[in-house]
Amino acid sequence: MPKVKDMMTTDIECCTPLDNIYEAAVKMRDYNVGAIPITDGNRLVGIVTDRDLVVRGIAEKKPGSTAVTEVMSEQLVTISPDASVTEAARLMAKHQIRRLPVVEGDALVGMMSLGDLAVHEMSDDQAGEALTQISQYH
C-alpha cells in the first residue's frame, strides 16, 4: 500500500506570517496553486486558500497589504508522511478538503492534494471516492 511520502508534492511555495494577501495571491497565480501554506521557519502555522482570499479578504474589503495571518485558516487537518494514501483520502473526504499538509512534528514536509491522489493509478478509486464525498457538500 502506498504511503503519503511516496505521492506527496515536496516542492511547495510558502508564505510567512510577515507576507500580505497580495503576495499570497501572486504566488497562487505564478505557481498555479489554490493554497499557500504559511510557515514560520519550517513550522506550519496556517494555510491560505483562494477561497480564504475571496471570502475573508476581498468580500470583507481588505486591502492587498493585509497580513496573511488575518485571512489564513489556523485549524488545520494534517497527515504524517508515513500514513497510508487510504488514510489521506479518508481525511480529505471526512473534512471536505482538497489539500492536506504533510507534517513531521509541526514541520511542513509536503502537500497531498486530490490531484496527487488522482494521478496515481493505484489510488484512482480513492481519489474518486474522496472527490465524491467532498463534492456532495460544495
Residues 6+ apart with CB under 8 A from 72: 38, 45, 46, 47, 48, 52
Asked whether 37 and 16 are in contact (CB, 8 A), the reply is: no
Domain that holds residue 88: 4-136
CATH number at residue 28: 3.10.580.10
* Number of domains observed in the structure of the chain: 1
User: What is the mean pLDDT for each group of 10 consecutive residues in the chain (138 residues)?
Assistant: 91 96 97 95 96 96 97 95 93 91 95 81 53 52
All three cell numbers of 132, joined, read 465524491
**Torsion 43-119-125-6 (CA) sign:** negative
Between β-strands 35-40 and 43-49, what pairing exists: parallel, antiparallel or unpaired? antiparallel
Query: pTM above 0.85?
Result: no
